[in-house]
């Protein structure tokens, strides 16, 4: 199969594809080389207004469509994603940089989301309340209405699918605004839905200047729900916009995941797990393990073993079969990560592996920092890149204090062979998701979301479907 970038980039509004036609254009870049590979048409204000009108019109029919019929379309879309997985994965790797194996997994995971929510929609249950004979009181769940969804570039197809699958299953039309860095794979997702028979206006695709598009869509009375995955500052901004219309929001925001390594863990097995996980997607993962707190008795062995493994991670184009870590997604990231590493080094941290950007493209070396003080910026600001920071701890209470120190609480991890300690860790760590001796915390059937400034609301599982439903009580005497 060809590995060339063969993307037919366009907007999708009211069932029709719209290309350049005088619209402003965004340059799409291959992060492995820094070279421009395509031009992306951006939505005009007129395009956004037409998308809003189409979503508003489509809502009445889509919410009334039988759940079996909705599910059949979602299952068909899932099948098409699987059939097209290789070509979509090539688009994803070329645009975003991740190794092709990771890209294939992301496409297949997206298909699983559509299959899951196609079936979960059949379990949108209400209840009947106890009332005197001749009276009825029931509680039902109904779709909230048209949704504006905003997704980032780190997992562009999977995060978009997570929002679309749940919303469409619940009966809500969606106007999707994915990232301009990765338009080919997200366009392919919408094509799969259109080819599966989704009616016009039910799922639409727009690109544009993020702040301009979000302000325009959220200000419209058509939009009843906003779903966003991205940074904490942008999430807070969108919440302010949504507040003016009292719109429901789901926010999956940033994290700075702590990893607690206790001295009773299987150290070699733990290292073999944590190092590949840290450098997955070049560390551009909202739940990436980043702050490694290691019990003092095994600290030196841990950092030595981590550094040895980090130095063997092969970087390069994600399309090369032996690449283990690709480039960062855009030219801003290497400079931002380099500044955090330099600050940590100046404040006393030791660089045991990496620490430098690549010579071409948007690469940064797999990096390990040891003995990083709390005063270093990287201990409070998520690097969102291939950098692990470490420092020792003495006891359980010290570890928990460090893990919960920041105002974020998306994900956290711990490694221990002590069952009682594992139970206590699950209770004490302030995070929406906790993995103990595992990094497998995300799946179609599991709620995904954070606490504190990492956001609120869940995606995935029945909780993800619930966020697109409103509750109505009906009383009859």
First to last CA, the chain: 66
User: Coil, strand, or helix at residue 259?
Assistant: strand
CA distance 371 to 239: 37
In sequence order, the 6+-apart residues with CB closer than 8 A to the CB of 311 are 353, 354, 366
Q: What six digits make up the tokens of 44?
A: 């005009």
Q: Where are the alpha helices (DSSP H) in 249-359?
A: 267-278, 299-310, 332-346
Both tokens of residue 60? 């009445």
Active site residue 286: yes
Quick one: which H or E segment has residue 361?
none
* Chain centre to alpha carbon of residue 325: 19
Beta bridge partners of 368: 353, 388
SS3 state of residue 329: coil
Q: Which of 286, 382, 459, 466 is catalytic?
A: 286
Look up 265 and say whether it is catalytic: no
CA distance 60 to 89: 35
Q: What is the Rg, in whole angstroms, of the alpha carbon atoms belonging to the chain?
A: 23
Listed in sequence order, the residues at least 6 apart from 33 whose beta carbon sits closer than 8 Å to its beta carbon are 317, 360, 361
Cβ neighbours for 236, distance < 8 A, ≥ 6 positions apart: none
Pick the catalytic residue: 50, 106, 181, 252? 252
Burial class (CB in 10 A: 0-12, 13-18, 19+), 474: exposed
Catalytic residues: 252, 286
């Amino acid at each position: 199969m060809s590995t060339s970038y063969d993307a037919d980039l366009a907007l999708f509004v009211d069932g029709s594809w719209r290309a350049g036609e005088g619209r402003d254009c965004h340059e799409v870049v291959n992060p492995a080389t820094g070279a421009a590979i395509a031009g992306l048409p951006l939505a005009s204000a007129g395009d956004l207004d037409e998308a809003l009108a189409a979503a508003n019109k489509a809502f009445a029919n889509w919410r009334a469509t039988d759940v079996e019929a909705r599910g059949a379309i979602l299952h068909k879309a899932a099948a098409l994603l699987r059939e097209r997985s290789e070509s979509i994965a090539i688009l994803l790797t070329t645009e975003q940089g991740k190794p092709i194996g990771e890209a294939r997994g992301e496409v297949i995971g997206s298909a699983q989301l559509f299959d899951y929510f196609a079936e979960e929609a059949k379990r949108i249950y209400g209840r009947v309340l106890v009332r005197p004979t001749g009276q009825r009181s029931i509680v039902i769940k109904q779709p909230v209405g048209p949704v504006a969804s905003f997704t980032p570039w780190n997992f562009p197809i999977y995060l978009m699918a997570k929002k679309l699958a749940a919303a469409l299953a619940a009966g809500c039309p969606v106007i999707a605004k994915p990232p301009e860095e990765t338009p080919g794979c997200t366009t392919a997702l919408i094509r799969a839905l259109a080819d599966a028979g989704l009616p016009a206006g039910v799922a639409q695709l727009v690109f544009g200047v993020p702040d301009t598009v979000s302000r325009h869509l959220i200000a419209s009375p058509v939009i009843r729900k906003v779903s966003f995955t991205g940074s904490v500052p942008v999430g807070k901004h969108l919440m302010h916009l949504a507040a003016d219309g009292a719109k429901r929001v789901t926010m999956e925001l940033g994290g700075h995941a702590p990893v607690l390594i206790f001295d009773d863990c299987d150290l070699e097995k733990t290292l073999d797990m944590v190092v590949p996980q840290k450098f997955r997607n070049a560390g551009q993962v909202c739940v990436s393990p980043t702050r490694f707190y290691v019990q003092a008795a095994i600290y030196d062995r841990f950092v030595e073993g981590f550094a040895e493994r980090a130095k063997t991670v092969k970087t390069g184009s994600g399309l090369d079969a032996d690449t283990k870590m690709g480039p960062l997604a855009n030219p801003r990231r290497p400079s931002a990560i380099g500044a955090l590493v330099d600050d940590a080094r100046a404040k006393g941290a030791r660089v045991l592996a990496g620490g430098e950007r690549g010579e071409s493209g948007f690469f940064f070396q797999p990096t390990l920092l040891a003995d990083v003080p709390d005063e270093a910026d990287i201990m409070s600001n998520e690097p969102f890149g291939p950098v692990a920071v470490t420092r020792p701890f003495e006891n359980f209470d010290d570890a928990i204090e460090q893990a919960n120190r920041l105002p974020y609480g998306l994900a956290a991890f711990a490694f221990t062979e002590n069952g009682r300690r594992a139970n206590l860790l699950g209770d004490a760590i302030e995070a929406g998701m906790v993995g103990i001796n595992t990094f497998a915390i995300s799946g179609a059937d599991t709620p995904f979301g954070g606490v504190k400034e990492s956001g609120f609301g869940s995606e995935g599982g029945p909780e993800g479907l619930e966020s697109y439903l409103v509750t109505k009580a009906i009383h009859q005497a």
